[in-house]
Amino acid sequence: SYVLTQPPSVSVAPGETASIACGGNNIGSKSVHWYQQRPGQAPVLVIYYNNDRPSGIPERFSGSNSGNTATLTISRVEAGDEADYYCQVWDSNSDLGLFGGGTKLTV
């Protein structure tokens, strides 16, 4: 079965750029979606179709996807960006979504 691998944690100083990786076999051939989950809150979609942002999501959030790695990039990181981030692809075999294990971003 398909597996998405994320680093457990990433640390970044305020104002710097954070990059969160999501690894999977030939993930570049799939569409990757990203969710932010702040402590005690429900997840929020921040990137869909690799690099599209829902309305209300700052331009500081961007995504890329190529080869075996998709990446969520957060520019000019703020304290409010501290959260868990999950990547997700669609598994055509099960016809369900598949999440990575999540990455805790510490600012």
Partner 1 sequence: EVQLVESGGGLVKPEGSLRLSCEASGFTFKNAGMSWVRQVPGKGLEWVGRIKSKTDGGTTHYAAFVNGRFTISRDDSKNTLYLQMNSLKTEDTALYYCTFTYCSGGTCYSYSWGQGTLVTVSS
What is the binding site for partner 1 (CB under 8 A)? Answer: 30-31, 33, 35, 37, 42-45, 48-49, 54, 86, 88-90, 92, 94-102
Nearer to partner 1, 102 or 107 (CB): 102
Nearer to partner 1, 71 or 103 (CB): 103
Nearer to partner 1, 17 or 41 (CB): 41
The single-letter DSSP state of residue 27 is G
Amino acid at 25: N
By CB atoms closer than 10 A (0-12, 13-18, 19+), residue 39 is: exposed
14, 54, 68, 77 from 59: Cα distances, Å: 16, 10, 25, 12
Cα(86)–Cα(83) distance, integer angstroms? 10
Instruction: In angstroms, give the least distance from the CB of 34 to partner 1.
Output: 9
Nearer to partner 1, 89 or 107 (CB): 89
Instruction: In angstroms, give the least distance from the CB of 85 to partner 1.
Output: 11
